[in-house]
Every structure is written in C-alpha cells, then in structure tokens.
Amino acid sequence: MTSPTASPAPLIQTEDVTVRYGRRTALEGVSLSVPAGSVYALLGRNGAGKSSLVRCLLGEQRPKTGRALLLGKDIWKQRASVLREVGVVPEEPDAPPAMTARQLAHFCSRLYPRWDAEGVSARLRRFGVPEDVPFGRLSKGQKGQVALALALAPSPRLLILDDPTLGLDPLARRTFFDELIGDLADRRTTVFMTTHDLTAVEGIADRIGILQDGRLLLDDELENLKRRFRRLSFPKTEAGVPAAVAALAPVAVAARGWSVEAVVSDYDEAWLPHETGSRVEISSLTLEEIFLALVGEAKGGTV
C-alpha cells in the first residue's frame, strides 16, 4: 500500500531504457518507477529481460537509450556514491570462497558509513548460518541469507533483490521472507525484486511489473490488478465466445473441458453476466493466474 504520506520522489525511475546485445534486443523502452516505501516485484519468464534491467539498475550495463535513476541520480554516472545507500542481493551471491561470513561482514563494514554488526550476527543466527564456515562451503540458501544479512546491515534506503529465493527450499524461503518482512516493519525500506515466487509476492508486493520479450507488459498496483482481472467461465458452444464477453476484450481465452474460460483485464462490477444470454461464472484470480494469463497461455492457448 503506498501511503499518501510517502515522499513523492520515486527511489527508482527508469526512463525509456533500451538494451541491445548485438542485434538482439533485451529491453525495449522500459519506463517504470518505484515509489518510496513500496515493494515492487518485477515478474517475467526466463529471458524476458529481468536480469538486464537489474544490471542497468546496478550500473553494470549502460542502456543504449534512456537512463536509470536511483535515489534521483543517474546510476551509470554516479554508481559508487549511489550504491552506498542501496542493499543488493544478487541472483548468484558471490564472495571469496575462503572468507567466512564473519570476515565478509568485517570487510564490508568498512565500506559503509553505518553498519549494524549485531544485526548481521542476529540474522545469521536466526537463519542458522554458521559465521565461521568459509563462504565457498555454504549451501546456496545460506549464501543468499549471508547476502541478505550483509545487504541489510548498512540500513539501506533501497533494497534490490534479484530472484532471492531461487532454488531455496520452502523453509529457507519462509525464513528469508520473514526477515524481509521484519525489516519492512522496522524501517519501511523500499524494495525492488525480481522473482518467480508469485505466492510469496502476492502478500508482500504492492506494485507489480511484468516483462515480456523486453517490454513492460504491465505496471500497476497489485490491488488494482486484483480488481481489474476476472475469469469468466461459460459453456462451450458452437456460437463461440458470447458477444458480451468478447466486448470485454479478453486477454486470454482457453477451453477447459466442457467450458471456456476468458480472462479479462478491465472488469467492471457493473457488468451483468445475464446479458450474455448464457450462464457465466465470474471468479477472481490470484497473481499467479493473472501472470499465466498474460504471459503464458495468451500465446500458446487454443480455443
């Protein structure tokens, strides 16, 4: 929920960002903004361009056109000063394999003006990550947890998480989100994350972006999405899709056994199903179902 008292200046703003690798276009004119205090989840299938966008946000990739502003500054031009106020959990957390979590924390602490050393230890204890085992010998989940503990230690204004729970078991995922929720409760940190974990994001994110083939397909508040999207199920007949349903311009239509399901993206409570002349059941969608309707079945679906 974006509170009305939140500062109007977005912590992330991309303006018409385009990235090409040779002749391949990875991102095409992506403009999005992440308001202060919000939790933004960027979704997309593998190869949709999520990683390219994260690289632009971290100043690791220069957009061919457009620019990415973090905390109001062009990240490509002011990378070092901006990243001091940004916590990052990369997709594959990397660190010198011989260094222990304790040594890593000590090393990182000197790079930041503020550093909550006790917070790091407390988090690692809660995660059950040993502080004296070399980073290279930790599991994938533990590496991610070390990365989160280190990312939160300088009390960053903005946290960027690149698919942080990829490959984690359900318990490790839960612990990870518990910790994130705790930080949100304490400090209302602004979060930008890419993820495939739609169930978790459903409760935590307040704004959703969906990338497909390098373009931003959708960028809206989750609450709005849930209000706008509906599934309309009606019996399969020779007549096909009833005119009243077709008038709502479904984003996906698929046959399911004896019935046909249409997903509409601009549902209006005033729409009356009996005007279709057939029985129409209306149901709401989870974020995962909305995502699938937009990027999955819309393409390969058959009626």
Contacts with another protein by CB under 8 A lie at: 1, 3, 37, 39, 174, 177-178, 181-182, 184-186, 188, 199-200, 202-206, 223, 226-227, 230, 272-274, 283-287
Please give the helix or strand (H or E) that residue 201 lies within, else none. helix 198-204
Smallest separation (angstroms) from another protein to the CB of 166: 18
Smallest separation (angstroms) from another protein to the CB of 41: 11
Smallest separation (angstroms) from another protein to the CB of 155: 17
Phi, psi (degrees; rounded to nearest 5) at 148: -65, -45
Closer Cβ to another protein, 65 or 286, answer by number: 286
Per the CB < 8 A criterion, the answer to whether 38 and 286 are in contact is no
Angle, helices 117-127 vs 140-152, to 10°: value is: 150
Closer Cβ to another protein, 39 or 160, answer by number: 39
Closer Cβ to another protein, 133 or 272, answer by number: 272
Closer Cβ to another protein, 206 or 219, answer by number: 206
Smallest separation (angstroms) from another protein to the CB of 199: 7
Closer Cβ to another protein, 80 or 270, answer by number: 270
Smallest separation (angstroms) from another protein to the CB of 148: 15
Per the CB < 8 A criterion, the answer to whether 75 and 55 are in contact is no
Number of H-type helices and E-type strands within the chain? 11, 14
Angle at 141 between CA 139 and CA 142, to 5 degrees: 65
- Distance, in Å, from the CA atom of 149 to the CA atom of 146, rounded to the nearest integer, reads 5
